[in-house]
């Protein structure tokens, strides 16, 4: 049973004209994401110690397409093989250096904190 004759001006859901802009935006976001990583590897990493560098890479890895990473101190500590308190101090050094912005602070009953990673130091507001 057909619903009627198909009109040529109707587009299928998977037509290239509808998916092309989304693919370009995705490629641009990927490029931007790796530009941040390259900037950190080239200049930002020398501003902090190796523990803070490891924390930055974990946070960068957890970053979603919107540019935000939600990760707990416990998870960071597990990934870098250090104690939770060491991860807390290292993230604090990243924030102080301007390589990380705390978008939303987490806590007990609030979930993990939300971060935005920067490849080069972000200027802080006076």
Residue-wise pLDDT tens digits, 67-95 = 999 999 999 999 999 999 999 999 999 99
Over residues 34-50, the pLDDT tens digits come to: 899 999 999 889 999 99
Average pLDDT of the residues of the chain:
83
Q: Where are the domains of the chain?
A: 22-117
The reported pTM is 0.73
Buried b (16+ CB within 10 A) or exposed e, 33-63: beebbeebeeebbebbeebbbbbbbbbbebb
Residue 11 is predicted with a pLDDT of: 46
> Is domain 22-117 in CATH 1.10.10.10, yes or no?
yes
* Helix/strand/coil (H/E/C) assignment for every residue in 21-47: HHHHHHHHHHHHHHHHHHHHHHCHHHH
pLDDT at 115 over 80: yes
Predicted pLDDT at 8:
52
């Amino acid at each position: 049973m057909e619903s009627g004759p198909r009109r040529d001006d109707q587009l299928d859901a998977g037509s290239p004209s509808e998916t092309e802009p989304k693919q370009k935006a995705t490629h641009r976001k990927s490029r931007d994401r790796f530009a941040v990583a390259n900037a950190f590897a080239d200049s930002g990493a020398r501003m902090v110690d190796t523990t803070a560098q490891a924390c930055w890479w974990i946070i960068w890895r957890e970053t979603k397409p919107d540019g935000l990473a939600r990760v707990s101190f416990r998870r960071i500590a597990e990934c870098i093989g250090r104690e939770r308190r060491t991860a807390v101090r290292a993230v604090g050094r990243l924030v102080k250096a301007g390589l990380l912005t705390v978008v939303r602070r987490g806590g007990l009953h609030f979930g993990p904190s939300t971060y935005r990673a920067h490849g080069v130091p972000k200027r802080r507001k006076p």
